[in-house]
Structure 1
Amino acid sequence: MSLERAEAPDPYDILPQVPSFAVASSDVADGQPLDELYAHPSVGGKNLSPQLSWSGFPTETRGFVVTCFDPDAPTGSGFWHWVAVNLPVSVTELPRGVDPLPDGAFSIRNDYGETGYGGAAPPPGDRPHRYVFAVHAIDVDRLEVGEDATPAYVGFNLAFHTLARGTLRPTFGVAG
């Protein structure tokens, strides 16, 4: 069964614009397919978060939030794969498979209903999905959200505290 539909908008194209900074990875690249290491076990993956590093963010940055969102999921609201909140400003890299997060940081429940990173798993036969890994430089030491916050609530708070954002957009598809 094909789920042909128009491509969903990239969420950062429709939110208020903020300056950007560099996000790099030894594991993933813009527009390139993700390796199975970063896919969900339901599609044969290892469910590891990719290595990410960032630089060039504003000097007034006081902390970071890292997210991974699939705008192409057939849900009407996309699919949150990862929301890592309250990374200290001293942290500018996360290793592959990071667990646990640095002191003071925590992950909230993703759309799989699990805490932490949940790998790519688009429906079989659908076109490859985009996975938007974003690092948000924030103007506060900590977002005032708890570990029971939803991704949408974290996103709402980010709207008021994001100074700049860097992104990578790899893809992943499952043959049908």
Structure 2
Amino acid sequence: MGLLGRMLRNVHAGDTHLAWARLVGPDSITLTSPDFEPGGVIPRAHAAEGVGANTSPELAWTGVPAQTAALLVVMEDPTVPLPRPILHVAAVIAPILDRIPLGMLDHDSPGITLLDGSIKGLGYSGPRPIVDHGPHDYVFQIFALDRVPVSLRDPGTVLGRGRLTGTFERTSA
């Protein structure tokens, strides 16, 4: 079952194509989740439908600059065997918030506006790597911006940023 994953095991989009590489600014924000440790395994409940419950993890942050007009939260998989990382979710967050509760990246809610992602359009799409491709990194990134972005292509100036990486793997064993 995992033949394709094993064949593509050394093929990855890479970190150079993450939003992190394009949206440069001070690394002043600390991004955390009570659902997994930095570099730790993302629980199955946060994996995509068919693998898990596709529930977005809780995220919290500190260190947002006072002059922030909007926050941009992005989750990408740079380990996917494609030319560019997969965008699992993108959301514009009101700067008065300091956390996103469990499951709240699944739909627009007060203070949270979803942008189009690579997989299902609006809303969170959890990890679902190819079977036997190896562990995938899922990079949650937060950017403090000087204005409310209308798209990911034109986000404005980055006043601060932070990131949190979790891993997830599917095996045929």
TM class by smaller structure: 0.7 to 0.9
Shift of 1:80: 0.6
Q: What residue number does 2:101 align with?
A: 95
Q: Count residues in correspondence.
A: 163
Gaps of 5+ in 2: none
Q: What residue number does 2:84 align with?
A: 77
Q: Distance in 1 between matches of 2:48 and 2:163?
A: 21
Q: Distance in 1 between matches of 2:21 and 2:115?
A: 24
**Over aligned residues, Cα RMSD in angstroms?**
1.9
Gaps of 5+ in 1: 146-153
Matched, 1:65 2:72: yes
Q: What residue number does 2:10 align with?
A: 5
Shift of 1:46: 0.5
- Residue pairs, 1:35-74, within 5 angstroms: 35-42=43-50, 44-74=51-81
TM, length-normalised to structure 2: 0.85
- Residue pairs, 1:7-156, within 5 angstroms: 8-9=14-15, 11=18, 14-15=21-22, 17-20=24-27, 21-42=29-50, 44-85=51-92, 87-98=93-104, 99-103=106-110, 105-140=112-147, 142-145=148-151, 154=152, 156=153
State the Cα deviation string for residues 119-170 of structure 1 (Å, max 9, x = none): 0000000111100101111111x2124xxxxxxxx1x223x32211111000
The alignment-based identity, stated in percent, is: 26
Runs of 4+ with >4 A deviation: none
